[in-house]
Structure 1
């Protein structure tokens, strides 16, 4: 914007200066010509009354500041050496004063008739005399015009700064808000319109902060309400007669309690700009948890996870929740005995921080056509399982697995350097 304003002011200033300086330059040139011709005319008029007095003519011609030649009737000449020109001969023949433009400049010829004989007074105003001082005047005007253009650019730059600086600050605040820095606020400055925008942005930021705080509290309260049925479930598990069954149910209950606690902590945790984890470790941990249930339901589990670390730009809790959602769909929407596979592949591009691809595939009936849309489920559930997985991914693909069932591929972002 600063550049455009500067160009606009420069163009406008140049046009205005041209509108004034060009006519002024022409006027200066015409004034110089009129001054030179007037000086020559005055010299001729000084000599004309002396025609007939040769001695007076000789003294008058010598005293003039401009070259003057007097052609006498006998063919002789007084003053500046010059040969009779066509203008001199024409003036002598017609008896009329002439002003003729020649290659050397302007020639003034005045005939004087005395006693039937014609004396011609001639002076030459050279081109140099006609333009004397014009070049210097034009340079002065050009320098004045350039100074005015530079002054206009300086004023335009300061004006543009007063406009662009608040806009840059507003942009910076918006980026900080986008990076979860919800305390960022813009200082109202600049023109009235920009101050109104800054006030609106601050109001929006405050409103977002209020809504997020309320949402976190509601989520935390909802998660806290689950503790009562969990406590009852744990008591029921302890009352089971089979020790192994009691231990298994108690372990599952403890796992659910830890998940609820994690939800509460995550809901009350302030948002952060970036998070990362070792995707391989998280996938191995969650697959080990679901392997017990897979064994109980007769499901063949295949996993392919790199032994080395696979850093991704996703929090461990979020990645674990996404994988749990995908595996929960497998157990909820496929018949018992249906096998499934979990594959984690590090992306080769970008080195160790290039991210990874997490794939969950099964040999079940597959997804319905509308299953990939948020909040849509054909199995009576909330339909948010896939959306939980979608939120941690930079790419999300739902397709058909090689076994004929459903396949979900999550493109996980690379860890920040």
Structure 2
């Protein structure tokens, strides 16, 4: 942008200077030539009275003095063919002067001027003055040099002013882009300079309003999450007390574990909301996929046993570090296994396999022997569900894969059911 402004101003200024300086330079040359011709004509005319009143000796002396002080060459042609003054040939213009006509013409090397006069005897005489090109152009090169220097100075000043203007525009644009990048990184206190030039100031105001609105929405989200957590924890506490009061220790432990899982999910939601609000990346460290998957499969194994589901578990020996926090990986595994229990009938077998990826990371596969997903299904679209659920399970798994630098793919298992493959990148 800065270079384009400089090129535009430079081209415009150059055209204006050319349109102004070239005619002025030509005018100066014409004025210089006219001045030299006028001076020579005046000198020639000043001799007219001398030719009519003086003898040849006086005329010769006068011409000698005049040629010594004049830049041109002055010659007097008398009627008898005598030449006084500077040596010169009888040119056609001199012959024209003998007929009584005073003229001037451009010849090789300069300009010739003739003045028709009468000598003391009344005979026709001609005063010829020759002005060389050097005299016609005297002072013109210096004037052109000064005009060129003036043009360069004016062009330099215009480019300097344009560069200063371009710097302010580019700086304001760069600052505005930097503010947008800071907002994208979660630095919600970033603000643009509303004093930017022209329309950039309007854009800066709009960006500031947008940033303030984003901060307000995130604050409202955090408050909503905190309020929801407060409301949920009260019945959870009551449910925990009821579970502890159960006579069967196994049932009490199972229900208590479920309550702990819900409480962990609520805590994770609060922590994630706080991280988004503060723009901090704290707590985004990786985790050991082997340990997390093994723990979550053991948690779901109890429910699998109660619903007569055959479970195949193949987990590579750890550690398998991945670029996903343990809480997010737990939510991913719970979402995938929860889908199996929610969308397949009791007694449907499923398998969980975790292997290491070449180059680091892990590959998690959850496959079942259910009916699978119909062709063209939008199961990966957030909120889309064909089973009456919220439609967030697979979306949670997809976002976890994206967060870990991997991807999620759906396929058909060997038993004809759904197979979900989650690629998790290595810990950074």
Decide which of 272, 279, 290 is 2:279's aligned counterpart.
272
**Structure-2 change in CA distance of 1:130 and 1:291 (3 Å):** farther
User: Partner of 2:349 in structure 1?
Assistant: 338
Q: Is the 8 A contact 2:288 2:318 kept in 1?
A: no
Q: Is the 8 A contact 1:230 1:257 kept in 2?
A: yes
Between stretches 237-246 and 144-153, larger displacement belongs to 237-246
Decide which of 322, 330, 333 is 1:320's aligned counterpart.
330
* Equivalent runs, 1:18-417 vs 2, <5 Å: 18-51=18-51, 53-64=55-66, 65=70, 66-92=72-98, 94-114=99-119, 117-191=123-197, 193-269=199-275, 270-274=277-281, 275-278=284-287, 280-281=289-290, 282-294=292-304, 296=306, 297-303=308-314, 307=318, 309-312=320-323, 314-335=324-345, 336-343=347-354, 346=357, 348=359, 359-368=365-374, 369-394=377-402, 397-403=408-414, 404-410=416-422
**Structure-2 change in CA distance of 1:10 and 1:174 (3 Å):** same
Superposed displacement of residue 292, structure 1: 4.7
**Could you list the runs of 5+ residues in structure 2 that have no partner in the other structure?**
none
SS of the aligned residue for 1:226 comes to helix
SS of the aligned residue for 2:130 comes to strand
CA distance in 1, matches of 2:181, 2:317: 36
**Structure-2 change in CA distance of 1:238 and 1:302 (3 Å):** same
Q: Is the 8 A contact 1:342 1:360 kept in 2?
A: yes
**Structure-2 change in CA distance of 1:76 and 1:401 (3 Å):** farther
**Could you list the runs of 5+ residues in structure 1 that have no partner in the other structure?**
none
The number of aligned residues is 409
**Structure-2 change in CA distance of 1:152 and 1:346 (3 Å):** farther
**Structure-2 change in CA distance of 1:91 and 1:364 (3 Å):** farther
**Structure-2 change in CA distance of 1:73 and 1:259 (3 Å):** same
Q: TM-score scaled to structure 2, two decimals?
A: 0.83
Superposed displacement of residue 67, structure 1: 1.2
RMSD: 3.1
CA distance in 1, matches of 2:84, 2:351: 126
CA distance in 1, matches of 2:151, 2:260: 84
SS of the aligned residue for 1:298 comes to coil
Q: Deviations over 1:231-279 (max 9, x none)?
A: 3443444344543344333333323333323333333444435433136
Superposed displacement of residue 68, structure 1: 1.2
Q: Is the 8 A contact 1:372 1:398 kept in 2?
A: no
Q: Is the 8 A contact 1:340 1:362 kept in 2?
A: yes
Superposed displacement of residue 181, structure 1: 1.3
Between stretches 372-381 and 165-174, larger displacement belongs to 165-174
SS of the aligned residue for 2:47 comes to helix
Between stretches 328-337 and 237-246, larger displacement belongs to 237-246
Between stretches 158-167 and 201-210, larger displacement belongs to 158-167
Q: Is the 8 A contact 2:51 2:118 kept in 1?
A: no
User: Partner of 1:14 in structure 2?
Assistant: 14
